[in-house]
Structure 1
Amino acid sequence: MKILVLNAGSSSIKYQVFGMEDQQVLVGGLLDRIGEAGSEMASHDEALARIILHLQAAGITDIDAIGHRVVHGGEQFKQPALIDAAVVDAIRAMIPLAPLHNPANLAGIEVAQRLFPGIPQVAVFDTAFHQTMPPVAFRYAVPVELYREHKVRRYGFHGTSHHYVAQQAAAYLQRELADLNLITLHLGNGCSATAIARGKSVDTSMGMTPMEGLVMGTRCGDIDPALHFYLQRETGLSPDAVESLFNKQSGLKGLCGVGDMREVQALADTGDTDAQLAEAMFAYRVKKYIGAYSAVLGQVDAVIFTGGIGEHSARIRAQVCANLQVFGVYPDLAKNAVHTAGIMAFQQETATLKLLVIPTNEELEIARSTAQQLFLRRS
């Protein structure tokens, strides 16, 4: 079985084809600058047509199914969904909840439906894994009508990544996922933490939008909501300008001028005090969430680091894990400093709580979910 995974953005499409017998990538790539001035591709139609040519050149002419990443599934989608007209309409109806992402995801779906007629297609939602959160975790303390009428609540994101690394942890620890309590940390340009109790998400740091929670590359994370009103009054910024400020000019970039952690750390090493503070704030916020989610879970079997920063920055992992002995966190700094390609454990030998670095693979998780939906359809 061959499954094409598509991750369509507003000006890009990332794609991979998996052979599901051994779950290996057969071909993949990224097309960007779609629709931009000077680009050879004016639309997603042209980009996907180019992808088809690439697949044919690689000898892949038979695709059994297509899996699409969709950022926001709201409360309606708790699992991946086989795409039909009703699913397309539902994704379109949720555009107000994810105005930057769902329109692009939808464009990828609609183009793929035209260019791959008759091929089953599946939507895999970033929010679905977090739909097991209880109301005490997902509700905001605002008038109930805002939830009932406008669906104002915490949804959470990166669910595909959190679910994937949780499954990988269970396999590595040779335990059932349903028997494990985990804290998963997806740390990259976008960052989120999730508390997983017996295999199910029970709390997560991102909220109604991906802006809430941890300090990120350009997003502010948790702030006083009254700051929005203060800035509008005192600076004259419009609501749209404030939203852009917190989404695109804040986080690490706002603190020290660069949003990539590698650049932040390089600046910090030169003695730049703004970069040193940015790095410290990043680790501090992650540390706080580990403490909070330890309290939520009561007992934690493993803390998992993933994402570009989580997988590759031993320095951040060391800062995050420092002085957390009260929660059973005992890092072995020598093990932490050794970079490995696969899963790595870096807790001290006598520690009960495992500290794991697990490379994420959201595309493979989407392919697996697509294959499962195909199996359910045929059975």
Structure 2
Amino acid sequence: MSTDPCLILVLNSGSSSLKFAVHDTGMRTPLISGLAERLGTDGPRITFKDVQGKRTESLPASDHAAALDAVLAELTTRNWIDALAAVGHRVVHGGERFTSSALVTPAVLADIEAVSPLAPLHNPAALLGLRTALARLPNIPHVTVFDTAFHQSMAPEAYLYAVPTELYRQQGVRRYGFHGTSHRFVARETVAMLGLEPGNHGLVIAHLGNGASATAVQDGHSMDTTMGMTPLEGLVMGTRSGDIDVGAVLHLMRTGDRSAADIDTLLNKQSGLLGVSGLTNDCRELESAAEAGHPGARLALDVFVHRLVRHIGGLAMALRRLDAIVFTGGIGENSARVRAMTVARLRLLGLELDPAANAAMVGGAGGVISSNAEGPRAVVVPTNEEWMIACDTAELARRATETGSLWNFEPELVQA
């Protein structure tokens, strides 16, 4: 390892967790990664993972500061603390204010706070993690990477809802899209894998996991995506409903004596694969149950794929050309069954499955799974959001260092 600072610490702060990874600027695989969980509750703990395996430790306190202190203590033990060049932070929502990743300044912190009403569960947690990290590491660059930024290239006809426009102008009601860091990374990887022209290609990327979204990417830019103002819209997900008639929601509130909070819980935590199957939100368990004849599991997978195919077809129409349908995310990378079901229903687009290639694409493997020599191809591309965050962080930190635009955060500037 170089004696110059070359390590990037990537942080993803949730309301009750802190996920982290440390990347050497020349390596895609993290040197160490892990998760601090049960923050704010009893029994907080942190798990470290590297090539030697995993280990879990209890935390002395249940806040983000204790979690980050444990991470920094681990880096100090490994003599890596002085090699930290910068810290990259995942932030879910940047609203319209951020179209790309940004070097953290007091103005950026204020802007993230200003759009927090659009993501009340996610952005306050990200700000807490940001301020904690700035207090601990005030003398190196910090960078924010936004899930929404990649989709800010969408045209108004793609992002506007057909509601009175003052709701958009005054309250920000529009489609923002999410999973942008994953979609951006996978788009670049697909162009390289298939030898496509960076300035002349069309992809539909399906990021499928407990959270799921699909995006139409033309020449490296998001043209349309399935998630909306929140991550609830679009595809069926693990516990989220995806698209649902608002009239059905109003009906449930009128006839079922359900509050807005009840509906929020119902659609975000009790629906999706879990709700349809009545069994689980885990796709692997659903596939096993479906094989054993469980009708709810079979139905959940059928609904999941039907919705996915419908959205892929619609997104393809946002492109000038279609070079590939791309599967990524935990389900997209590992479920040969879901991929086979999906490709079988996309024959109208000229796709034909190669069963042997499809079966081989598990556990981080990537490649073409369709047999057609001409026309659009079906491919699997493993995502790597942490690496994308690390790359953005390293580049913005380099520019800031070269231009002398680094901001030294005094303690009073990082308080909530």
Q: Flag whether TM exceeds 0.5 (same fold).
A: yes
Question: How far did 1:113 drift?
Answer: 0.4
**SS where residue 117 of structure 1 aligns?**
coil
Residue in 2 that maps onto 1:50: 70
Aligned-residue RMSD, C-alpha:
1.2
1:22 counterpart = 2:15: no
Contact 1:166 1:177 (8 Å CA) reproduced: no
Question: How far did 1:174 drift?
Answer: 2.4
| Cα separation, 1, equivalents of 2:81 and 2:172 | 43
Question: How far did 1:57 drift?
Answer: 1.9
Map of 1:220-299 to 2, 5 A cutoff? 220-257=241-278, 258-299=280-321
Contact 1:44 1:108 (8 Å CA) reproduced: yes
Residue in 1 that maps onto 2:409: none
Residue in 2 that maps onto 1:60: 80
Question: How far did 1:349 drift?
Answer: 4.5
Question: How far did 1:58 drift?
Answer: 2.3
Residue in 2 that maps onto 1:364: 387
1:347 aligned to which of 350, 367, 370: 370
Contact 2:351 2:372 (8 Å CA) reproduced: no
Map of 1:1-379 to 2, 5 A cutoff? 1-39=6-44, 40=59, 41-62=61-82, 63-257=84-278, 258-339=280-361, 341-377=364-400, 378-379=402-403
Deviations 1:109-134 (A, max 9, x none): 00000000111100000000000000
Over 3 Å counting, the alpha-carbon distance change for 1:38 and 1:375 in structure 2 is closer
Residue identity matched to 1:169: T
Over 3 Å counting, the alpha-carbon distance change for 1:261 and 1:23 in structure 2 is closer
**SS where residue 130 of structure 2 aligns?**
helix
Query: Which blocks of at least 5 consecutive residues in structure 2 are unaligned?
Result: 1-5, 45-58, 404-416
| Cα separation, 1, equivalents of 2:378 and 2:277 | 30
**SS where residue 64 of structure 1 aligns?**
strand
**SS where residue 30 of structure 2 aligns?**
strand
Contact 2:183 2:215 (8 Å CA) reproduced: yes
| Cα separation, 1, equivalents of 2:29 and 2:302 | 38
Deviations 1:322-360 (A, max 9, x none): 132221222212211113533211111423212110110
| Cα separation, 2, equivalents of 1:264 and 1:342 | 22
Contact 1:80 1:122 (8 Å CA) reproduced: yes
Query: Which blocks of at least 5 consecutive residues in structure 1 are unaligned?
Result: none
Contact 2:88 2:143 (8 Å CA) reproduced: yes
**SS where residue 318 of structure 2 aligns?**
helix
Identity %: 47
TM-score w.r.t. length of structure 1: 0.97
Contact 1:197 1:297 (8 Å CA) reproduced: yes
* Larger displacement relative to structure 2 (85-94 or 38-47): 38-47
Residue identity matched to 1:330: E
Equivalent residue pairs, number: 379
Deviations 1:262-312 (A, max 9, x none): 111122122111111100000111111111112221420111100000000
| Cα separation, 1, equivalents of 2:365 and 2:345 | 27
* Larger displacement relative to structure 2 (246-255 or 256-265): 256-265
Residue identity matched to 1:133: M
